[in-house]
Structure 1
Amino acid sequence: KLSGWCRSRFIPVDYDEDGSLLHVLYCVECIDDQKKREDKLLYLAQTDTMTGISNRRSGEKMIERVLNNKVSGMMCLVDCDKFKSINDTYGHMAGDEVIVAIAHTLQKSCRDKDVVMRLGGDEFVLFIPGVTDRKCANAFFKRLFENLKQIQIESIKDHPIIMSLGACIYDGKEELTFDELYCRADMAMYQSKKVEGYSATIYKKK
């Protein structure tokens, strides 16, 4: 008995004088170990090794696919304010703990169908399908910030972890690339950075 991934194939054995096939062997081969290796390589190629969430390459591809399929939703750019001061004061290991905690909290705050990715450093991107109005967006911001405020990391003592967020709502009609949507969210983020403490801004067309 075999369990897991298997591959079956026919192997020709012999032919008659006219070239017609006479006998074949039917072979069943267990390839479970091979599939596990392939899955591991795929996981490593798509995953940010520090946090376990999607890396920039795979996250961008997922969002580009969403945009190509005209799926409406909201893209969020999330950033940790004054993150450098955490590294400078408590060391890079403490900074890494903060990044991992933020990533896990973002993932916990989102659904399975949402895109959660780390761009690099202390910068993260979310794409939340179906969130297309300010009321839903604000409800999401409130829940997300409440979860982020619960982060406690012993190595940084009582040092606050403050997050800023810039968002852009995509209506599913415009022809937009990931970079264009990112630029809009980044402009909104610039406004959020001007506010002390947790802040979220939604991009407005001029």
Structure 2
Amino acid sequence: MKGNSEIQLESESKGIEQEFYRFSQAEQLYGNMSLFTDTVLFEYSYPEKRLYLSANAKGYINLQAFQHFLSKHTDNAPKDGEMRSFEFSLGKIGEPFHWCSCKLTSIWEEKKTAPYKLVGKLQDISGLKAREEQLLLKSIKDGLTGVYNKSAFEYRVDELLSDETESWLCMIDIDNFKEINDCYGHPTGDRILMKVGGMLCDLFPEPDLVGRVGGDEFVVFTSGSNVYKRAEKLLKRAKKAVPDGEGRLSVSIGIVSSAGKKEINYQKLFSQADRAMYYAKQAGKNRIASYHDNFWQVT
């Protein structure tokens, strides 16, 4: 956060004034210290409808949005002596948002039904939130390919299946992957896994889901009706994805439909898609097998 000299800010739309604390001479040292911290002190006066902040607040938060938030807090203000803590984000549209930790309390006058003012502090926790997001991504994404890991993929699919709309689960297995690793080394195998993951994300972009459920096994969940055309594109792209000297790449694909049935869950679909992929392998690999209404078809 940047420090700023004392200044009065005018609201752009409502003419509500907001101004920084004006420190007395005895408080000047404390005021200067605030310029070098990530903590903003604030006071909101209900009678004046004015927000006062320490000098380091400028450029840190959307002051008008924060003042609006505090003005609406009067009906649920803390009781006398009560301290509240919560987190929220503030920012202007088109600009980065700041995550803040807020602690505040109310100042009450005798025999009043509403507080006289709110006082508290804001602390920038954007860095903490960014680290939390990174940890969350690591917990749900495959470290090598960046697609969903097995447990996160299953959880998300079961959530989407509850909508009871027709969708498809695809099981994709890289053909002869063990031989690729044995002949060309694991670094080459890792590059192929990343390429396949990238191709799947390109052919099945969000809101479709792409996951890795085994060493060389990927899964896709989509509600797009052109799933077979995209699977055929994957077969063609896989052939061209590996340069000379790194073997021949192909994939076998099993596809099943949920048919919007209420009783269908991820495990049932996965079992059927796995069997369909097995049929594709048995039929010669580098092809698509599907299962629908108890009927198997290999193309």
Bin of the TM-score, shorter chain as denominator length: 0.7 to 0.9
State how 1:116-127 maps to structure 2 within 5 Å.
Answer: 116-127=210-221
**Is 2:207 aligned against 1:95?**
no
Give the structure with the larger helix fraction.
1
C-alpha contact 2:106 2:119 (8 A) present in aligned 1: yes
Task: Give the TM-score normalised by the residue count of structure 2.
Answer: 0.61
Give the 3 Å change call, closer, same or farther, for CA 56–22 of structure 1 in structure 2.
same
Structure 2 segments unaligned to the other structure (5+ residues): 1-58, 61-95
Q: Which residue of 2 aligns with 1:7?
A: 100
Q: Which residue of 2 aligns with 1:175?
A: 263
Pair member with larger Rg: 2
Larger RCO of the pair (alpha carbons < 8 Å, separation 6+): 1
> Could you report, residue by residue, the CA deviation over 1:81-105 in whole angstroms, capped at 9, with x for unpaired residues?
1111111111111111111111111
State how 1:30-179 maps to structure 2 within 5 Å.
Answer: 30-131=124-225, 136-153=226-243, 157=245, 159-179=247-267
How big is the shift at 1:185?
0.6
SS at match of 2:201: helix
C-alpha contact 1:63 1:127 (8 A) present in aligned 2: yes
Task: Give the TM-score normalised by the residue count of structure 1.
Answer: 0.87
Give the 3 Å change call, closer, same or farther, for CA 81–12 of structure 1 in structure 2.
same
How big is the shift at 1:150?
2.1
Give the 3 Å change call, closer, same or farther, for CA 160–186 of structure 1 in structure 2.
same
Paired positions, count: 200
Give the 3 Å change call, closer, same or farther, for CA 19–37 of structure 1 in structure 2.
farther
> Could you report, residue by residue, the CA deviation over 1:138-188 in whole angstroms, capped at 9, with x for unpaired residues?
32222221222221246xx15111210111011112411111100111111
Bigger drift between 169-178 and 17-26 goes to 17-26
C-alpha contact 1:116 1:125 (8 A) present in aligned 2: yes
> Could you report, residue by residue, the CA deviation over 1:80-135 in whole angstroms, capped at 9, with x for unpaired residues?
1111111111111111111111111111111221110011200000011132xxxx
SS at match of 1:58: helix
C-alpha contact 1:97 1:153 (8 A) present in aligned 2: no
C-alpha contact 1:4 1:30 (8 A) present in aligned 2: no
